[in-house]
Structure 1
């Protein structure tokens, strides 16, 4: 009988992200490994070793049921032989090892039925010489993969002797961790949940708002800077300040990002492990996810103080890491709805230890990589990886063209490296303003108006309002009572309609924010309608009713009122982890047109319903008789 449980808290990020990326572009979450095989290896012995690993690690034979109620579940399948494909290194006209590995890597995993591991043996003269393996990141994080890599190397070394290697037992499997997490009393997670709710409430709305451009589509850039010197420099700075090297990189990243973005408070997401906070550090599954991180530099502190703050932020994140990722997403969506504009937190930072492997260069090297076209569909703005080798460091920044051009990506990495080089000198302690001025970034766009934590661009808000079909023109201004919009309308429109419209359009208009007050009058000067847009609407469309019913059914709610669709999915009681089930329910009802990332955002349900199209037999048809 299969062992089942809810998803582990650390698995939820990759499970949701994998489904939000379009099919065919998901291989950014696939991890490859290649192992030279010792003399005496046969295909039978290799299969025996792989089958042993599959029996040992339940994560390697786990599938994920998105339709399970009340929550999606992981299901461990019984041990069975792992399929092992073969490919020859000889040039005989058949598929080459490189071609075979590429196909194994780029092909989507079917999470509902396929094990998260694929294996291929390259042979020469019929003898296996290399083992290629592809994993889905949902099964393992970097710590788990390092452990598995060590096990594979130990088992391979034992193959020539013909006997199995002795490996330590596995006291806990992912299902055991998931059951432990499900059994925790609500009080056990209150401190961590409260911490992240406070973090979300303090987030700046959009760190990159002054750099954000429209009309760039899915164009993206990628640049790497590899430096042997930076490894020792970062460690020396860390030793001098009595902090971890990761804090040094977080401080350098925060200062460089503040200089480029032109803002005093920077926010991003940092990949953080739940292992220590969970109390189950040895479980072999994915236990990391990107946590919100804010570094306040508004008082122009010296780098030593930035380093102290960065170290404290790392410690806070690790101490409060053991929470469900999806609950943090829900908090961000509700906060964006409260502010009237989406909270953009789409820049990611990740530290990856690749030692004992070397970086392969003795001097600094900058490389402009191929455009990351598939990553560009993931919904992120930027992704900085800090690779630590045995003899150097590589900084690799991927960035959407909407926030960085290719030259700016390179300038960012050079500025980051320059900052660390400067502070290798123990006497150096630049203030943020001095350090960022030395980086020489081109000036950012106009500074938005700060209203609480919202960063408001009045022109963008006006443009978003003007996009509504019933709006003739609009004038938006900042008053002592907040943001006010005076609207002349060509047709019937309510404050609730306009608030919902701007909340949705703000994802396309950087800095747009739903006004606190709408004053609507017809073009001919008739009666005026006024309000904040938060009251209930009167009309209900078939699509709104279908969406309300699907949200209520999948989430076990008594009812979602279809005339109160100005709320986002999370604020209406929808749980992010159940969002794929809502889309599946809509599909069963014959509706399509909403993406997973849209449903889990601050967008109002009414605007999501307007995207839905009635489909019968795969052919869109009129909704008039729905």
Structure 2
């Protein structure tokens, strides 16, 4: 028998109608959260939001309300994390209850004939993004159809981060597109490992050994790193937490040239450039960066929908080397970073606290981050030599840095995320300007771009970073 409809935030009186969507699927039960879910839950609590993903998407292919209801049913039936509600367990810890069957709601918003359906859809998406999920009572997915003159013009979807991540959404959309066009059944009838199954696997001796290996890697780098990444806080007024976007076709062209020459990926080239540029900005080496790693390369996890992306720890020496050498070092260090980015987040925090105590209470700052959100970025196929300098110089003149809407709160000091725009490098910058000013962000982006562009023509280009002087006697090791 189906469960009652879980409470859904659908905008109250703004909804003109709603459809009840029944569903059922495998993986039901009650148990612990996975490592990825626990890490996301902690970040959500710190940020005070559900860190939701989604938005308003135009519907241009004639899909109807019933088609969208079918899609919502597919998501809830196929992916156990979409049917999970999270509550406090008997011991005070968190448990998730995955329903085997239930009902959800597809909201419907009818827009007046003289209204703007795109604006209405965007306003609903922003409202949902700003409204935290009630994870104990609400399914972690919200979905609504926006209609104008009787036709669906937009679909609005918002999913809590504790239920998925960017790669998980790509899995869901990919499998949705591969459904049988007549029956609506998935191409692969067997669904991927659910969160309860993975959480149980992480508790096994094999899972615990992987956790121990990862923690040893983190401890080695934490003990080798200096404590600082950025200087002391300087009050630069408001807005403090800012979002920027840097777009560079020149960086796209040059990174492909360097990647092909070195036999690496453009992701490694951009990470190497970021590491050098940050070291130049701060004067601190080696570079220590948290890199977001998707663990879907691990056996059995390729098609998992629930969150698997966590931070790995990456360290690279950028001093007294050519940029090609730094890219090679980055490639090797990135492999270790990914290998050991699979761990119990609570045990990692315990490790960090212990290392901080043993270093005399001076914690290692880990507030510099990098996330390449592009999918399938591998080795670049060999290409022609670098384009004429005139072409890259013209592309350099096109590069732009613009600032978006500020954040009410930001947990780190600097993060860049590589977007998936075609034929350009699109970097999203999240920054605490009381530690890294807007002018310093601009200088950092221009330095990163110039470095990679020059390296496209000069395989021996030095990084112009000098080694750090030895720490004064008596400083914590």
1:227 corresponds, among 223, 232, 248, to: 248
Shift in Å, 1:99: 1.5
Unaligned runs of 5+ in 1: 357-361, 437-446, 452-479, 484-512, 517-626
Q: Cα gap change, 1:371/1:336 in structure 2, threshold over 3 Å: closer, same or farther?
A: farther
**Which residue in 2 is equivalent to 1:287?**
308
Shift in Å, 1:329: 2.4
Counting only pairs closer than 5 Å after superposition, residues 522-601 of structure 1 correspond to structure 2 as: none
**Which residue in 2 is equivalent to 1:271?**
292
Q: Cα gap change, 1:318/1:395 in structure 2, threshold over 3 Å: closer, same or farther?
A: same
Alignment of 1:368 onto 2:415: no
Check conservation: 1:64, 1:74, Cα contact below 8 A.
Answer: yes
SS at match of 1:84: strand
Shift in Å, 1:214: 4.9
Counting only pairs closer than 5 Å after superposition, residues 211-610 of structure 1 correspond to structure 2 as: 212-214=233-235, 219-277=240-298, 279-297=300-318, 299-339=319-359, 340-353=361-374, 364-374=398-408, 377-433=409-465, 450=471, 482=474
What are the Cα deviations for residues 582-622 of structure 1, in whole angstroms up to 9, with x where unaligned? xxxxxxxxxxxxxxxxxxxxxxxxxxxxxxxxxxxxxxxxx
SS at match of 1:423: helix
Alignment of 1:34 onto 2:72: no
What are the Cα deviations for residues 93-136 of structure 1, in whole angstroms up to 9, with x where unaligned? 79822222211222111233322211111112122232221112
Alignment of 1:195 onto 2:217: yes
Alignment of 1:129 onto 2:153: yes
Q: Cα gap change, 1:225/1:201 in structure 2, threshold over 3 Å: closer, same or farther?
A: same
**Which residue in 2 is equivalent to 1:460?**
none
- Higher Cα Rg: structure 1 or 2? 1
SS at match of 1:213: coil
What are the Cα deviations for residues 264-312 of structure 1, in whole angstroms up to 9, with x where unaligned? 2222211012222465332221111112222223x42221221121111
1:105 corresponds, among 115, 119, 129, to: 129
Question: Structure 1 runs of 4+ off > 6 angstroms?
Answer: none
**Which residue in 2 is equivalent to 1:176?**
197
Alignment of 1:49 onto 2:75: no
> Greater shift after overlay, 28-37 or 419-428?
28-37
Shift in Å, 1:220: 2.4
**Which residue in 2 is equivalent to 1:470?**
none
Shift in Å, 1:418: 0.8
Shift in Å, 1:171: 4.2
SS at match of 2:269: helix
Give the Cα separation in 2 of the matches to 1:274 and 1:427.
33
Q: Cα gap change, 1:382/1:66 in structure 2, threshold over 3 Å: closer, same or farther?
A: farther
Q: Cα gap change, 1:335/1:293 in structure 2, threshold over 3 Å: closer, same or farther?
A: same
What are the Cα deviations for residues 365-415 of structure 1, in whole angstroms up to 9, with x where unaligned? 4132234223xx232111111113232111122211112222221111111
Shift in Å, 1:88: 3.1
Q: Cα gap change, 1:91/1:335 in structure 2, threshold over 3 Å: closer, same or farther?
A: farther
Aligned-residue RMSD, C-alpha: 3.0
Counting only pairs closer than 5 Å after superposition, residues 602-621 of structure 1 correspond to structure 2 as: none
Shift in Å, 1:423: 0.9
1:74 corresponds, among 96, 100, 109, to: 96
SS at match of 2:400: strand
Tell me the TM-score normalized by structure 1: 0.63
SS at match of 1:150: helix
Unaligned runs of 5+ in 2: 4-27, 378-394
What are the Cα deviations for residues 410-450 of structure 1, in whole angstroms up to 9, with x where unaligned? 1111111111111111444223339x9xxxxxxxxxx9993
Tell me the TM-score normalized by structure 2: 0.81
Q: Cα gap change, 1:129/1:221 in structure 2, threshold over 3 Å: closer, same or farther?
A: closer
Give the Cα separation in 2 of the matches to 1:245 and 1:68.
48
Q: Cα gap change, 1:49/1:103 in structure 2, threshold over 3 Å: closer, same or farther?
A: same
Give the Cα separation in 2 of the matches to 1:425 and 1:269.
30
**Which residue in 1 is equivalent to 2:106?**
84
Give the Cα separation in 2 of the matches to 1:197 and 1:355.
30
Q: Report 1 or 2 for greater relative contact order, CA contacts < 8 Å, sequence distance ≥ 6.
A: 2
How many residues matched? 428
Give the Cα separation in 1 of the matches to 2:299 and 2:97.
21
> Greater shift after overlay, 54-63 or 2-11?
2-11
